[in-house]
Structure 1
Amino acid sequence: MIEVRSVRKHFAGVRALDGVSLSLHAGEVHALVGENGAGKSTLIKIITGVYRPDGGELHYRGEPVAFARPRDAQAAGISTIYQEVNLVPLRSVAANLFLGREPVNRFGLIDYRRMHRDAHEMLTRYGIAADVRGRLGELGLGVQQMIAVARALSTEARVVIMDEPTSSLEPREVDLLLGVVAMLRERRVAVLYVTHKLDEVFRACDRVTVLRDGRVAHSGPVAGTTRLRLVATMLGRDIDEVRRHGATTFGDEQRDATGAPLLHAEGLSRRPLLDDVSVDVHAGEVVGLAGLLGSGRTETAKAVFGADPVDAGSIKVGGRRARRWSPAAAIRAGLGMVPEDRKAEGLIADLSVRDNIVLAALPRLTVAGFLSERRQAELVDTFVKRLRIKISHPGQKVRELSGGNQQKVLLARMLCLHPKVLILDEPTRGIDVGAKAEIQALIDELAGLGLGVLLISSELEEVVEGADRVLVLRDGAVVGTFRGDQVSEDRIMRTIATAAEDDDD
């Protein structure tokens, strides 16, 4: 269906792709993996007409092509599902599903009755529970992602490109999506599946291509390789070295909570999202919040940080009770937060790396009421080096960075405030194994220096290996607490399942 032949692409002297070749066949699910910055997104954009290659050829269904724009690729039968939900949050679910191809009646007006009926049938087909008349932006990120998937598949495409399609999905939705992928294979649709989650490669894909530094480092059947070999190939390291690190790069040391907590949140309630949630975080302790999507993890984090109001409850930081709580007050008290959705709630895409890092620290960087360029430059240089953020220069637009480096910019913004407690909501979502390892090691380092960390992750192994204590949430309430050797994936999952059975009773 698609054949990429020796494609090259450069940006301002930086080599993004260097002689990359790849073939994609009908009825095949082909995984494309690699670290952020390896060239995956650039290759997708060349296939879909966003970029023109500097060299090489693209063949589609046996014929050479050069799509001038994404619409041309879509018209030819190539549909793309991006990691970031590129839909219109203020419009209805149905309007988003049929955006640009709305059904019309005999008078040339939009046939809303038909559009709503067809939208409902489409969501039912893919097991998505949502009101087609409701605004898209009022739904959770995972549901929005599934709606983006449904929209892309509704075009009857011959080729479907999925760029990190499960990064915002809970396990049940992941199973549903992989079932859709299997259905596409049966229909002889060619699927290019871009992911950082190697478990999905072995569950759903037939072949795998690894990109490293803009070149093909490996390509072959999934059945002929192992997870360990893929990770080693992506990182360009020896297999034995990768084997020693295990599933994550968190250390084995367990930290015991002593003394008064840095953060004490008690009885946080906001019906129907939170129900009497209490959480403590001590100096040098990593506290994990575990639970399924919608269990109240993010709602708890936002309530603690003052981003969402609560109906009841109290918060103390450093023993002092918080009043008129807001993100600004939380920052002044010593809290920092890296939100789940870095695109919508964290970064300002068109500002530079420098401006994004210093944004929250501007009041501290003034001299006689004027911003000090020197102090800004010193601060940015310190954290770019400390977090190993890969940039061409501090004035580079943050939207030009890879997902892992964008996440590091957000971390730098919070760390330059010297917080007492850092709230991390999905800190490694949608980033490659190398950047993930660096961030996990940084969390360990920060805790070792006495910082309190509140950690949320949909990857249960990350919570289990990274946290000293874990609170399990379901339906906005704490249903279990584990510490030290009690923390295990099995105990957490059994607690969630038991709480679900009690709810059914």
Structure 2
Amino acid sequence: MSAPTPPLVEAHGIVKRYGPTVALADGRLTVRAGESHALVGRNGAGKSTLVQVLTGLQAADAGTLTFDGEPAPPLGHREAWRAKVACVYQKSTVIPELTVAENLFLNRQPHARRGFFSWKKLDAEARELLDTWDVRVDPGAPTADLKVEDRQMVEIARALSGGARFIVLDEPTAQLDNREIERLFARMRALQDSGVTFLFISHHLQEVYEVCQTVTVLRDARWITTAPVAELPRPALVEAMAGEAVAEQAAAAAEAVVEQAAEEAVEPVVLEVAALTSDTYEDVDLTVRRGEVVGLAGSSGSGKIALAESLAGLHTPTSGTARLDGRVLPFGDVSAALAAGVGCVPRDRHEQGLVTGMSIGDNSTLSVLGRLGRRGFIGTESRRRFARELIERLDIHAEGPDQAVSDLSGGNAQKVVMARALASDPRLLVLINPTAGVDVKSKESLLRRVDSARDDGTAVLVVSDELDDLRRCDRVLVLFHGRVVAEHAAGWADHSLIASIEGVSSDVNP
């Protein structure tokens, strides 16, 4: 009797630490040849770290990884890794200025006799490769001209040309519409029939049930379960991702918000959005009342961040309207949005939130320079005095307003960004991932500012991937593929919100 065939890929007991942070405490994965295997979990569950280990970008601190029963290659042996596994990331890695053929054979172009480069041979080998895997694009076309789905197929073909038959697809549907997603799935099934194996990473659980045979769940940096998709009902999958006791914690954390909402009278509408549409969201209607905190939740491709950035003046929608206190809110102009009464904490404090060469005082008062002087002249002492008040108000741990903002910890730097957003006494406060990358104490301090803004009568819009940020909200709207698909009142259970974010109903079987 012959021995059973080993798994195509098997990872067991994978541990990865970055200093004191444990990014992966117990990573496990067993993938059989020819299947599409889903890897799911909330943000921070350890998916990206496990993929980095699987693709040879990082070495595990502990654990084992095998391909076809053989140990993984040494970390520096890139050719050996390319022959075993490849990853197609959500953000394309093709070079748009090059043609399809040039991208397919980048750094390994075919040569004719005597070592001279051959365009004719490049075109012929590119056509042969594309035909072999039924990728219907012109090898001479500039990659920049291709649709997103075709760029993905070029990346898959490039990976297969190196010998790999195990392809990791990292959020491949995030930028695709429904028709393009169906075409991608059809191509995946055809490639599976040709012997290709996929690891499919997605925040959209209904896609797991459509295209995958097996699913592995990670939670809190640990393996939770691996099961055939057909035998795992959706409520059980959501529960595995969310944890069993989290719903009770969510209810307790939001109890104060529920009680407060029940006692308060209905306040006037401050923000009114009607049929707002762009390339990433569609036909969005929402309102935020005076003293109300509304959350926006959704996966990375849901459109939630683009929607919030539009309201803060960073983008211009293609249609629809937004009114602040009854007046039309200007789009595509941050200064005009600020003047209209919008304060914003942007999604990236390093790129969008701080001028690192300036002091705390300079950064925190950028939005109110007109108040601190006359005819373009700004009094140094008046700016320092105003900045000191903000430092005290936000509990920023610093030597004073003249300290360079680049010297601050991540939590205190984020408080400076929050201070500037609050300095203008906004009517609408837009917070995008307001506690990302900060310590626990700073996170709680920042969230208390949300409570203070509510008490002051400010309308607040919170966009976040963190459930703790959303617990402070009076209600949470969920976007899925650019549309508002659900609304959850304060006191929601984690599994219900996660089910909406993933595009499934937690009480419906597949």
- For the criterion TM > 0.5, the same-fold answer is yes
| Preserved CA contact (<8 Å) 1:34 1:234 | yes
Which residue type is aligned with residue 458 of structure 1?
H
Is 2:216 the counterpart of 1:200? no
Paired position in structure 2 for 1:230 = 237
Decide which of 360, 363, 366 is 1:363's aligned counterpart: 366
The 3 A distance-change label for structure 1 pair 82 and 112 is: same
Is 2:410 the counterpart of 1:394? yes
SS in 1 for 2:184: helix
* Greater Cα offset, 115-124 or 104-113: 115-124
Is 2:71 the counterpart of 1:64? yes
* Structure-1 separation of matches of 2:237 and 2:201: 14
The 3 A distance-change label for structure 1 pair 315 and 10 is: closer
SS in 2 for 1:37: coil
The 3 A distance-change label for structure 1 pair 443 and 76 is: same
Paired position in structure 1 for 2:495 = none
CA displacement, residues 297-332 of structure 1 (integer Å, 9 cap, x when unaligned): 999987765445699999764345678961222133
Paired position in structure 1 for 2:487 = 465
SS in 1 for 2:34: coil
Which residue type is aligned with residue 223 of structure 2?
V
> Deviation at 1:151?
0.9
> Deviation at 1:202?
1.9
> Deviation at 1:45?
0.8
Which residue type is aligned with residue 283 of structure 1?
R
Paired position in structure 2 for 1:135 = 144
Q: Give the count of matched residue pairs.
A: 409
* Structure-2 separation of matches of 1:312 and 1:209: 41
SS in 2 for 1:10: strand
Paired position in structure 1 for 2:158 = 154
Identical-pair percentage: 26
* Structure-2 separation of matches of 1:155 and 1:378: 53
- The normalised TM-score by structure 2 is 0.59
| Preserved CA contact (<8 Å) 2:40 2:216 | yes
CA displacement, residues 97-148 of structure 1 (integer Å, 9 cap, x when unaligned): 5544455666416569928984996799457899932636xx8xxx436513
The 3 A distance-change label for structure 1 pair 243 and 128 is: farther
Which residue type is aligned with residue 155 of structure 1?
A
Is 2:289 the counterpart of 1:283? yes
* Structure-1 separation of matches of 2:363 and 2:479: 22
Is 2:215 the counterpart of 1:214? no
CA displacement, residues 274-296 of structure 1 (integer Å, 9 cap, x when unaligned): 9xx998956369799xxxx99x9
The 3 A distance-change label for structure 1 pair 23 and 100 is: same
The 3 A distance-change label for structure 1 pair 32 and 396 is: farther
| Preserved CA contact (<8 Å) 1:94 1:133 | no
* Structure-1 separation of matches of 2:45 and 2:74: 23
Which residue type is aligned with residue 176 of structure 2?
L
The 3 A distance-change label for structure 1 pair 229 and 282 is: closer
Is 2:9 the counterpart of 1:15? no
| Preserved CA contact (<8 Å) 2:330 2:337 | no
Which residue type is aligned with residue 394 of structure 1?
G
* 1:260-409 to 2 correspondences below 5 Å: 262=271, 283=289, 306-307=313-314, 317-320=324-327, 326-335=333-342, 348=350, 363=366, 368=381, 369=383, 375=390, 379=394, 394=410, 407-409=433-435
Which residue type is aligned with residue 168 of structure 1?
Q
* 1:154-173 to 2 correspondences below 5 Å: 154-156=158-160, 157-173=164-180
SS in 2 for 1:6: strand
Is 2:41 the counterpart of 1:34? yes
> Deviation at 1:79?
1.0
| Preserved CA contact (<8 Å) 1:335 1:423 | no
Cα root mean square deviation, aligned: 5.8
Is 2:46 the counterpart of 1:24? no
The 3 A distance-change label for structure 1 pair 98 and 108 is: closer
> Deviation at 1:10?
1.5
Decide which of 46, 50, 53 is 1:46's aligned counterpart: 53
In terms of Rg, which structure is larger? 2
* 1:447-486 to 2 correspondences below 5 Å: 457-458=480-481, 460=483, 462-465=484-487
Extract unaligned runs of 5+ from structure 2: 1-7, 252-257, 370-379, 398-408, 415-430, 438-442, 490-502, 504-510
| Preserved CA contact (<8 Å) 2:9 2:67 | yes
Which residue type is aligned with residue 175 of structure 2?
S
- The normalised TM-score by structure 1 is 0.60
The 3 A distance-change label for structure 1 pair 336 and 174 is: farther
* Structure-1 separation of matches of 2:91 and 2:71: 30
